[in-house]
């Protein structure tokens, strides 16, 4: 049973998710985008399963700081959006929780307490 939670350590949503996993006695590894980055294959896997609209956070300041050309390219082409996410990990919706738990594949994006409790 290996669960990895991907995100940024200082993020309040990440803290809520990790606290809930601890409360539910779910062991996990933390992958810090700021220290470890993320590879294109992982983001592609998440986008394939969840869709770009779920994985790409357009509500944050990083998205708002992009040029109009960058935003248009991301909206027009998923590969361009994924390339932007590799470089701008702050635009990946947090947390991403991935792995296997009780012999079930797990892939969650964003923090929803009920969804976490139902999964674990």
* Active site positions, annotated: 11
In order of 15, 96, 102, the CA distances from 111 in angstroms are 10, 9, 20
Asked if the peptide bond before residue 106 counts as cis, ω within 30 degrees of 0, the response is: no
Give the list of residues 6+ apart from residue 80 with CB closer than 8 angstroms, or none.
73, 74
């Amino acid at each position: 049973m290996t669960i990895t939670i991907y995100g940024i350590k200082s993020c309040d949503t990440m803290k809520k998710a990790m606290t809930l996993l601890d409360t539910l006695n779910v062991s996990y590894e933390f992958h810090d985008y700021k220290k470890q980055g993320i590879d294109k294959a992982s983001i592609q896997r998440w986008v394939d399963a969840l869709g770009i609209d779920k994985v790409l956070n357009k509500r944050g300041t990083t998205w708002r700081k992009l040029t109009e050309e960058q935003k248009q390219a991301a909206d027009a082409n998923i590969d361009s959006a994924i390339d932007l996410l590799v470089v701008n990990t702050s635009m990946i919706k947090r947390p991403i929780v991935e792995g296997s738990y009780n012999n079930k594949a797990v892939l969650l994006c964003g923090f929803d307490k009920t969804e976490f409790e139902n999964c674990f």
